[in-house]
Structure 1
Amino acid sequence: MSAVAAVPAAPSAAAVAHFAARLSFETDVSDVAADLAAAVPGLVVVDSRSRASWDQGHVPGAVHLPTAEIAARAAGLIPRGALVVTYCWGPGCNGATRAALEFARLGHPVKEMIGGFEYWAREGFPVETASGITHRPADALTAPVAAVACGC
């Protein structure tokens, strides 16, 4: 018996609803990088990590707003109606989820950047530190090393 088919796939209508809902809550590092490069108006990327983590490296142009400070400081930093994209360290951390929840509670449209800062850096996107902008080579396990995008 198939391990994959042991639990039948959902009916198509349920699958459409599920995957459409996931895309309304999540975005990936490649899409965020493309929108930042295109200077898409109304997009604010928020790094919800600690100051030490931010200083270690962050997405260029991101706003540093730790999760515990969102309720008190978001109104002064995030324009009303802006689409907020939150990120934290990576897939093993739910800090971006907690930050997204705080923004949703404040009435902001919000998405979580899946993969977080880890996949941002691993896919070779620019990283900003106090020393300036750096790039790591793309990790062949996360991104094509000889192409601009994965094509998915």
Structure 2
Amino acid sequence: MNTLDYFKARLEATISPMDYLRNAQASPKRYYLIDVRNGPEHVRSITIKDANIIPQQELQERLHEIPKDKEIIVYCWDVWCNTAAKVAVLLLEHGYKVKELTGGIAAWREMDFPISESSLDLDSSKNCGC
């Protein structure tokens, strides 16, 4: 793969927080945002506003909840976490249109974009799965 192909593929597979926020405000029914982070509730209590919470470890059992008629945006912790990429591969294999939110929740919070507190009920013994 040459450099041009790499950057085209990268742009096709990701969306920046700024682009997602702008696009979702303009066409709110176009996207289905999923927080795919694993781990205990106390470290995942802040989510992107209006995100659907489906941890990667639960995804197989909850595929039926994800609409096929929307563009799926997945996010995890930060640039060092590959959980969203793992989820994207699985969803693409099941026929979904998917992009990863660049920088995850860390980039979103750094930009002071809308967040919400979640009240999750997870087994705190599970690790992040990164």
- Superposed pair shares fold, TM > 0.5: yes
1:84 and 2:66 aligned: no
Q: Which residue of 2 aligns with 1:61?
A: 50
Output aligned runs, 1:134-145, within 5 Å: none
SS at match of 1:112: strand
Please identify which structure carries the higher helix content: 2
Q: Deviation of residue 103 (structure 1)? A: 1.1
Give the TM-score of the pair, scaled to structure 1: 0.69
Q: 1:34 to 1:111 in 2, by over 3 A?
A: same
Gaps of 5+ in 2: 120-130
What is the one-letter code of the residue matched to 2:89? Answer: L
2:60 and 2:118 map into 1 onto residues whose CA distance is 27
Whether 1:93 aligns to 2:81 is: yes
**What is the CA distance between 1:124 and its match in structure 2?**
1.0
Structure 2 counterpart SS, 1:58: strand
Residue number among 21, 35, 40 corresponding to 2:23 in the alignment: 35
- Count of aligned positions: 117
Aligned to 1:22: 10
* Structure-1 separation of matches of 2:77 and 2:59: 17
Gaps of 5+ in 1: 1-9, 132-152
Q: Tell me the equivalent position of 2:97.
A: 109
Q: Measure the CA separation in 2 of the matches of 1:130 and 1:94.
A: 22
Give RMSD over aligned pairs: 2.0
Partner residue in 2 for 1:72: 61
What is the identity percentage for the equivalent residue pairs of Structure 1 and Structure 2? Answer: 26
